[in-house]
């Protein structure tokens, strides 16, 4: 496939993703997003095969963080990323919170944060006025932070994203890198909103991956990055660095 066809294909993928994101924003604004909750649950078992598409293609709050991030990129030209030495530990925070949520410790505190952060429980009556104010304040704060950092809530605090991330570890299809044609420009690393070191992976099986395909879109070498069936056993993939 020649370069122009590759570029056209990647643009179509990004346009399709943007269309999906805007659709769910519209559904939220129209008050019918919560009615799709059972339909959205289909994405959970799908994550076992294809990885996490919810956060990168559906979640309205993730989309809003991307939009504010785009504004920040235009204002400041530069995006800040968590240093990798800190990222490799901090990325587990959302899984820690997920475990706490599951076992019921501090459930009253964490539920409104998670529910409002992912818009999955925006209209839950049991959250109460105080929790609503707290949740909205948290949402607004992270939208402000996302002007400077890529998807901060998604990366470190969202327990909904953690749920999809755990299921994604079994994925049979993922972003793959051709080491032979890779020129180590690291543009994929810079483009990744979840701070994954794509350039060090033969196949991205990181639980942080949201299938946004931005790494594939920015790759300057044809057929170096793509989405396809992963190789098994994973143990043979020495460069794979999953969460």
Is 159 found in the same domain as 201? no
Please tell me the predicted confidence (pLDDT) of residue 51.
92
Global pTM value: 0.81
Hey, what's the torsion of the CAs at 101, 49, 185, 148, to 10 degrees? -30
In a domain, residue 59? The reply is yes
E-state strands within 87-149? none
Last residue of a domain, one of 109, 134, 167: 167
Q: Which helix (H) or strand (E) holds 173?
A: strand 173-177
Q: How many CB atoms lie within 10 A of CB 213?
A: 20
The CATH number of residue 211's host domain is 3.30.70
pLDDT digits (tens, 9 = 90+) for 66-106: 999 999 988 887 778 888 889 889 999 999 988 887 776 55
Q: Which domain holds residue 224?
A: 174-236
Say how many domains are in the chain: 2
Return the sign of the alpha-carbon dihedral for residues 217, 222, 224, 228: positive
Give the mean pLDDT of 195-220. 93
Is 163 found in the same domain as 43? yes
Token pair belonging to 238: 């020495």
Is 180 found in the same domain as 161? no
Q: In 3D, which of 176, 163, 155 has the Cα closest to residue 234? A: 176
Is 231 found in the same domain as 182? yes
In a domain, residue 243? The reply is no
Is 193 found in the same domain as 163? no
Question: Which of 3-12, 139-148, 191-200 has the least mean pLDDT?
Answer: 3-12
How confident is residue 156, by pLDDT bands cut at 50, 70 and 90? very high
Please tell me the predicted confidence (pLDDT) of residue 42.
81
Is 180 found in the same domain as 75? no
């Amino acid at each position: 496939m020649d370069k122009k066809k590759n570029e056209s294909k990647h643009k179509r993928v990004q346009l399709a993703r943007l269309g999906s994101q805007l659709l769910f924003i519209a559904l939220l604004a129209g008050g019918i997003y919560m009615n799709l909750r059972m339909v959205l649950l289909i994405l959970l078992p799908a994550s076992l095969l294809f990885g996490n598409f919810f956060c990168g293609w559906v979640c309205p709050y993730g989309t809003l963080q991307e939009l504010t991030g785009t504004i920040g990129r235009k204002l400041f030209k530069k995006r800040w990323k968590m240093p990798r030495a800190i990222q490799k530990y901090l990325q587990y925070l959302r899984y820690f919170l997920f475990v706490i949520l599951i076992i019921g410790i501090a459930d009253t505190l964490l539920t409104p944060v998670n529910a409002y952060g992912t818009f999955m429980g925006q209209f839950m009556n049991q959250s109460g006025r105080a929790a609503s104010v707290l949740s909205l304040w948290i949402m607004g704060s992270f939208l402000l932070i996302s002007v400077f950092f890529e998807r901060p809530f998604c990366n470190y605090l969202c327990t909904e994203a953690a749920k999809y991330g755990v299921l994604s570890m079994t994925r049979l299809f993922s972003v793959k890198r051709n080491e032979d044609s890779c020129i180590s420009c690291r543009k994929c690393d810079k483009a990744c909103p979840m701070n994954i070191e794509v350039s060090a992976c033969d196949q991205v099986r990181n639980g942080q991956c949201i299938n946004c395909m931005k790494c594939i879109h920015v790759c300057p070498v044809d057929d170096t990055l793509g989405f396809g069936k992963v190789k098994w056993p994973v143990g043979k993939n020495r460069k794979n660095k999953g969460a």
